[in-house]
Structure 1
Amino acid sequence: MALDDDTRRGPEVSLLTGLDMSHITLCPAIAFNKIVGGRYKLHILCVLHRGPQRFGEIGRSLVKGGLGKPVTPRILSRELKGMTEMGLLHRKEYPVVPKKVEYSLAPRGKALLPILSEIVRWGATGAHEDILEISQTGQ
């Protein structure tokens, strides 16, 4: 069955928020997942909320908050590069030897902090641990 133009587009008004969505072509939830999806991106935003950090500092912070599993330098480098290319982070390289690079939140990254704050607020209830426990036991 072929889809016509009306079935490809979402609702004119969001059923969740009541906001006008007629000018939007990609579902915001899907876009959000594309932007910050992955294992470390939200945590990187959380770490950089405290201020500029160097590569090693970010990596160590990810170990502390990620159940002790270290992130590989290759994966961390890929995540930071992608987030910088999307305009979520600033990368500042200093003209010194040895090389010194700091990452900080760009305005686009800072704009995600209220969302991250609500995720952390939800997590403070412990609901995520209950959900993950159920999914790990296969119930």
Structure 2
Amino acid sequence: MSHIRLCPAIAFNQILGGRYKLHILCVLFDGPHRYGQIGRSLLHGGLGGPITPRILSRELRQLEERRLVDRKAYPVVPRKVEYSLTGRGRALVPILAEIIRWGASGAHEEILGIA
């Protein structure tokens, strides 16, 4: 690991840090979703109130810039755009599945004091 210049844990946090990025990736595990579907999905099991359109757009744009999410726009009216995981995004599935498995034990609620 002497060739690594940045701690992998810090890099992971820089890439996927933020309030909604991990949740967006979890939503997209099930397959392509439209913008509105993603926004509605973030209400369930999330941090409370609805995500604002500006924040959702920013999070999706950052995930797209990092090549974790693909945005496909269809030439139809009304406009139709779908988001899906790229190969790079799908490579994170086992990691996120392990985080979810850990969370299913309730450990996160105990640590956060919401148990």
TM-score (norm 1): 0.79
2:27 match:
47
Q: Structure 1 residues 70, 27: closer, same or farther in 2, change over 3 A?
A: same
- Spell out structure 1 runs of 4+ moving beyond 3 A: none
Superposed counterparts of 1:22-33, under 5 Å: 22-33=2-13
Q: CA RMSD in A?
A: 1.0
Inter-partner Cα distance in structure 1 for 2:35 and 2:48: 18
Inter-partner Cα distance in structure 2 for 1:44 and 1:67: 13
Q: Structure 1 residues 29, 51: closer, same or farther in 2, change over 3 A?
A: same
Q: What fraction of aligned residue pairs are identical, expressed as a percent?
A: 73
Give unpaired runs (5+ residues) of structure 1.
1-20, 135-139
Higher relative contact order (CA 8 A, sep 6+): 2
Which residue, out of 70, 73, 78, partners 1:98?
78
- Alignment partner of 1:127 is 2:88: no
Inter-partner Cα distance in structure 1 for 2:62 and 2:101: 27
Which residue, out of 42, 45, 50, partners 1:65?
45
TM-score (norm 2): 0.96
Q: How many residues align?
A: 114
Give unpaired runs (5+ residues) of structure 2.
none
